[in-house]
A and B are shown apart, each in its own frame.
Chain A
């Protein structure tokens, strides 16, 4: 394999720009029967909170046209258990591990950031201010510009590791919030998290999900994700981790061309557990066929200026010349 797919992302060297979406890849080893997780660029682990959470009541999953709804609600074993399992995960994964951190209140975000700061196996942090499935915290922070500012600022104070802020698409002006978190020290932004939606069981005459509403993901949300990444990447100077319905190499290239420096796979892996490997091979082939020395050359290629301004602002930060 050449180094056409090598990138630098938030100062970390990644073998390729393919990552996993939090909540879709467990704690890193669940898919190892289907592909070697070390083939990924990095692994974003399932979201954690300070205390263990049981999540929302069932039913938690509903399929929708070209998509799915989930209302898992951040079920997780809590930070203490997370700290116990991370060393064994790191023994098998020699790619950067990204912790996705969550809180109900500001103080919980700060407390968990302090904990994760101490975990040496964690190289990057994804600050989740956009989960639509928790009553408190989550999207409440991501949908309010000043709350987004506050949580990013306060977490930044206690976290020296590279930090990606995962934004909610359930807002009127995503660009405003992206610029705010950049101002407050985010090293990157991840978008999009799921769109708030619902589905109804017409036989029972009630919502399918136990939590009534859930987060919509899958190919159905791809156009929204592309639009938001396109808008945000033209307004910020930090890398975008793009996600939202990627299920093929062509999808991945679209995301990169609208401005994503790296991509995350989620729902697409449920239908196709070997999707990361297919996309990795597909991107390599695409680069060869189009005389692209490094995949980062086409970040933002669909911008009006071909992405030159954005790539210049990134400062070649996500490119490693071969």
Chain B
């Protein structure tokens, strides 16, 4: 497993609290999967836990992390300058199942849930037909899309305030695609706020479409040693850090009760 100090080569504000950090290491693991995450260590020792940050992209010996600076730990990351080091641990968790060819795929990212999407699309796009639906509260929440590689995929964007794309949300677009386009969707991948994923999962189930969702939970160890991030699923207690963060939507006990605070009731 990779546990190493890596060098920050870029750390820029995308919009509001959204940041993109690129790091370079000598032995960056090449076996990572979209949907996996890394645990990033804070330099301030008073912060005793690492921060789980989704893997945004892998490019040779460079890793990208798209993160939201909300708490003290992630705000510390925003102050890292080019050339400084940060200790990272990973890749961790169970990513999206991307071993697919010739499929019609819908990828839905909402707000900070755009974090694993770039890598996911990159992994899928050469072998599949992809529609990407990006959404967020406002223009800032979807600005990261400008940095994606969109060749050969269909892009649809929605914002709550209508500042970019249509005024509405990603689920509206998904429903419209299912209604208007006579396309047989094989699988939906989604990451974003829980209410959005809940709605996407319901639409997927109603239409008998396989759907993978990426859950978020507070975690301490990231390697199933502390059992802090467990959730109740149809297959029993599962650790978001190890069994997830990506789950089949049908494995979650009941998508109607996905807890907006994380995990499941």
Task: Return B220 CB to nearest CB of chain A, in Å.
Answer: 5
Interface residues of A in 231-286 (CB under 8 A from B): 247, 267-274
Q: How large is the interface on B (under 10, 10 to 19, 20 to 34, 35 or more residues)?
A: 35 or more
Residues of A within 8 A of B224 (CB): 26, 30
Is B220 a contact of A34 with CB atoms below 8 Å? Answer: no
- Known contacts A30-B225, A60-B228, A66-B46; is A267 also within 8 Å of B1 by CB? no
Task: Return A263 CB to nearest CB of chain B, in Å.
Answer: 17
Interface status of B199 (Cβ within 8 A of chain A): no
Assembled-state Cα–Cα distance A142/B224 (Å): 27
Task: Return A295 CB to nearest CB of chain B, in Å.
Answer: 25
Interface residues of B in 213-265 (CB under 8 A from A): 217-232, 237, 259, 261-265
Assembled-state Cα–Cα distance A70/B221 (Å): 12
The prevalent SS among residues of A at the interface is: loop
**Chain B CB within 10 A, most for which of A33, A61, A247, A267:** A61
Interface status of A55 (Cβ within 8 A of chain B): yes
Residues of A within 8 A of B49 (CB): 61, 63, 68, 270-271
- Known contacts A24-B221, A59-B217, A59-B262; is A66 also within 8 Å of B48 by CB? yes
Interface status of A62 (Cβ within 8 A of chain B): yes
Assembled-state Cα–Cα distance A97/B45 (Å): 31
Is A31 a contact of B223 with CB atoms below 8 Å? Answer: yes
Q: How large is the interface on A (under 10, 10 to 19, 20 to 34, 35 or more residues)?
A: 35 or more
Residues of B within 8 A of A11 (CB): none
Query: How many pairs, one residue from A and one from B, have CB atoms within 8 Å of each other in the complex?
Result: 112
**Chain A CB within 10 A, most for which of B50, B224, B228:** B228
Assembled-state Cα–Cα distance A236/B261 (Å): 46
Our pick among A60, A67, A204, A219 for the contact of B230 (Cβ within 8 Å) is A60
- Known contacts A61-B218, A75-B237; is A24 also within 8 Å of B230 by CB? no
Interface status of A230 (Cβ within 8 A of chain B): no
Task: Return B18 CB to nearest CB of chain A, in Å.
Answer: 18
Considering the complex, give the chain B residue whose CB is closest to the CB of A248. B45
- Known contacts A34-B3, A55-B237, A58-B262; is A269 also within 8 Å of B221 by CB? yes
Interface status of A145 (Cβ within 8 A of chain B): no
Task: Return B226 CB to nearest CB of chain A, in Å.
Answer: 6
The prevalent SS among residues of B at the interface is: loop
Interface status of B175 (Cβ within 8 A of chain A): no
Assembled-state Cα–Cα distance A218/B71 (Å): 19
Assembled-state Cα–Cα distance A274/B227 (Å): 19
Residues of A within 8 A of B223 (CB): 26, 30-31, 33, 273
- Known contacts A75-B237, A270-B50; is A58 also within 8 Å of B217 by CB? yes
Assembled-state Cα–Cα distance A259/B262 (Å): 42
- Known contacts A31-B225, A271-B41, A273-B3; is A55 also within 8 Å of B230 by CB? yes
Interface status of B27 (Cβ within 8 A of chain A): no
Interface residues of B in 175-232 (CB under 8 A from A): 217-232
Is A68 a contact of B48 with CB atoms below 8 Å? Answer: yes
Residues of B within 8 A of A271 (CB): 41, 45, 47-50
Residues of B within 8 A of A61 (CB): 49, 218-220, 226, 228-229
Task: Return B53 CB to nearest CB of chain A, in Å.
Answer: 15
Residues of A within 8 A of B219 (CB): 61
Considering the complex, give the chain B residue whose CB is closest to the CB of A272. B41
Interface residues of A (CB under 8 A from B): 23-26, 30-31, 33-34, 46, 54-55, 57-63, 65-68, 70, 72, 75, 204, 210, 218-219, 247, 267-274
Interface residues of B (CB under 8 A from A): 1, 3, 41, 45-50, 71, 73, 89, 217-232, 237, 259, 261-265
In addition to A34-B1, A63-B47, 16 A-B residue pairs with Cβ atoms within 8 Å of each other are A26-B226, A30-B224, A60-B228, A60-B229, A60-B230, A61-B49, A61-B219, A61-B228, A68-B49, A75-B227, A210-B261, A219-B45, A268-B48, A269-B221, A269-B225, A270-B48
Sorted from nearest, which 9 A-B pairs have the closest CB atoms?
A: A33-B1, A58-B263, A26-B225, A61-B228, A30-B225, A61-B218, A218-B48, A66-B46, A270-B220
Selected A-B contacts with CB under 8 Å, 25 pairs? A23-B227, A30-B221, A30-B224, A30-B225, A33-B1, A46-B227, A54-B230, A57-B263, A58-B259, A59-B218, A59-B261, A60-B228, A61-B226, A61-B228, A61-B229, A63-B47, A70-B220, A219-B45, A219-B48, A247-B48, A267-B48, A267-B220, A270-B221, A270-B226, A273-B223
